[in-house]
Amino acid sequence: MDGKEGFQLVPIAFTVEASRKTLAEMVTIDELPFRFVEGNGFQRYSTTLQPKLQIRDIPSHQTMARDVIGIYGVEREKLTRALKGHRVCLTTDTWTSRKIEMCLREWGINGIFTLTMDMASSNGATIKFLQIVTKDWEGTVLEHKFLHLRCCAHILNLIVGDGMREIDASIAKVHEAVRYVKSSPNRNQTFMSFVERLGIKSKSLLCLDVPTRWNSTYLMLETAQKFEKVFIRIDFKDDSYSSYFMNKENSGGMGSPSGIDFQNCRTFVGFLKLFYNATKIFSSSLYVTANTFFDEMFVIQENISHLSKSQIHLLKNMATKMESKFDKYWGKENKINHLLYVAVVLDPRKKLGFLKFYFLKIYGNEVVDEMIELVRGSLVKLYDYYSFVDSPNVQVPRRSERTHIEGESIGCSDPYAMVNSRFECFLETE
C-alpha cells in the first residue's frame, strides 16, 4: 500500500426477511429437505455467523416450504414475461400431444419452432396433432415445415445398439466378472490385492453397467479392460472366482472372460468412445449444439465406413450393421431436418462450403448439387419469411440483386482436426 489507496467501509443492514429469502434460495439450489432448517447444528451455525439472528427467527420447515413456493411464483412470472411473444424449441420424452398443447397455452407461448423427440412410433401422431392444432398460431414458421427434429442422441443409441450385438458374448462375460467383484466387500478386497500384487497403477474403479444404457456399458468396459491381467490371474488363483463361472457353465451359462474377450472389448471401446463423446456434446444444455452436429456425424460416418472394409471379421460385421442403421436415419435426401444444415451455413467458419464438402465425402458427387440446392431453397424460404414478419428490420433485395450463396481415421488422436484439415484441402481445390 502506498498510502493513496485504502479500504472503504460500507454499512449493510441485517434483516430477517433478506436472510429468509436467501435461505429459501439455498434450500432450492442445493436441493435440501425442508426440515434441514430445523437441525440443531444448522441453527447453532446460523446464530454464530450472525449474532443478531435469533433461533426463533429461523423458519420452520412449513414456513420454508411456503417461502420456496413464493420464490417459484415470482420466478415463474418472470419467465412467463420473458417467453411472451417468442417461439420456443421443445424437447419431450413421454409427454402426450394434448399435454404439450396445454402447457404451451398455460405459459402463453404462441409458437413452436422445433420439437425434438425420440424415434418412438407414437411420436409421429404427436407431431401431426401439433402441426394441425398450432398451424395458425402467430409464431408458426412456414407451416411447421421444420417442426420435427429427431433426437440425435437417441439415434446414436440405436446405431450403437446394433453394433453391440456383435460382441454380446464378450460383453456379457466381462459384465459377470465385474458383477462378481462388486457383489461383496471380501471379493472386492481380493481383487484389489491382486491389483497391488501385479503392480497395476490405475485410479479407475470398476463400475457395473445398466443393460439398457449403452454409455454405462462403455464406462464399464473402458475401466475393466485396464484390469485384464487381474481378471486372468484371479481365474487361476482364486478358487471362488473360478468355481463361480464353472457353475455358470455347467448350468448353460457363460464362462469367465478370456484374453480374446478383453481384446474384443478393447477394440469396441476405442470405437465406442466416438459415440460417447458425441452423445455428451449432443446432450449439453449450456451452449448451442446444432452447429456441432455435422462434425460429430462426419467423424462417426468416416470411422464406420473405414471399419466396414476391415479384414477383422468382428469389426466388419459390427460396422456393417451400424452403417445400415446410420443410413436409415441419416441417409440421403430429406432424412435430416434442414435446420441442422442451416446451422452449419450460419457458422462463419463453415458456411455452405462445408456442406458441399460433407455431401461429396459421404454421399458422393452424384447428389452434391441436388442437396446444395435443397439447402439453398430452405435458406431462401426462411429469409423470405423473416423479412416478411420483421419487415422494419430487414430489407429484402430484388431477386436480381441477391448475392449467390457459395458455399484411417479411427486411430487418429484428434478426429476433428482431421475433419478441419480435409475441409481446408477441399477449399484449396475449389
Residues 317-355, buried b or exposed e (16+ Cβ, 10 A)? Answer: bbbbbbbebbeebbeeeeebbbbbbbbbbebeebebbbb
Match 479411427 to its residue by C-alpha cell: 410
- Residue of 14, 13, 67, 15 lying closest to 37 (CA atoms): 67
E strand or H helix that includes residue 91: strand 88-91
In a domain, 170, yes or no: no
Grid cell listed for 374: 435443397
Answer for the pair 354, 294: CB distance below 8 angstroms, yes or no.
yes
| C-alpha cell recorded at residue 38 | 430445523
Q: Are residues 290 and 356 in the same domain?
A: yes
Query: Does 424 lie in the same domain as 282?
Result: yes
Task: Please give the average per-residue pLDDT across 82-90, as a whole number.
Answer: 84
Q: Which candidate, 272, 57, 281, places its Cα nearest to that of 163?
A: 272
Give the whole-angstrom CA distance, residue 204 versus residue 222.
Answer: 10
Of 102, 118, 150, the last residue of a domain is 150
From edge to edge, which strands make up the β-sheet containing 148-150? 88-91, 112-117, 148-150
Say if residue 69 is in the same domain as residue 97: no
Please name which of 344, 358, 337 lies closest in space to residue 405, comparing C-alpha atoms. 344
Q: What is the pLDDT of residue 409?
A: 43
- 214-261 pLDDT, tens digit per residue, is 788 888 888 888 888 988 888 888 888 888 877 766 545 677 888 888
Q: How confident is the model at residue 5 (pLDDT cuts 50, 70, 90)?
A: low
Q: What angle do CA 120, 124, 127 make, to 5 degrees?
A: 125
Range 143-162 average pLDDT: 84
Q: Which amino acid is at 262?
A: F
| Number of domains into which the chain is organized | 3
Give the lowest-confidence range in 74-88, 149-163, 340-354, 372-386: 149-163
Sign of CA dihedral 191, 216, 173, 270: negative
Residue 238 is assigned to a structural domain of this protein:
no
Domain that holds residue 125: 84-150
Q: Is 349 within the bounds of a domain?
A: yes
6/338: higher pLDDT = 338
CA dist., res. 306 & res. 410, Å (int): 8
Residue 112: strand pairing partners: 88
pTM, 2 dp: 0.69
Based on the domain organization, do 284 and 142 belong to the same domain? no
| Position 166, amino acid | E
In the structure grid, which three cell numbers stand for residue 234, read together?
484371479
Mean pLDDT for all residues in the chain: 81
User: 38-52, 189-203, 293-307: which has the minimum mean pLDDT?
Assistant: 293-307
Report whether 58 contacts 43 (CB < 8 A): yes
Per-residue model confidence as pLDDT tens digits over 46-58: 889 888 888 888 8
Give yes or no: residues 400 and 419 share one domain.
Answer: yes
368 and 321 fall within a common domain: yes
**What is d(CA 2, CA 195) in angstroms, rounded to the nearest whole number?**
59
Please indicate, yes or no, whether residues 146 and 279 belong to a single structural domain of this protein.
Answer: no
**What confidence tier does 166 reach under pLDDT thresholds 50, 70, 90?**
low
Tell me the CA distances in angstroms from 84 to 45, 88, 107, one per residue in order: 43, 10, 8
Q: Residue 67 falls within a domain, yes or no?
A: yes
Cα distance between residue 52 and residue 15, in whole Å: 9
Q: What is the model's pLDDT at position 407?
A: 39
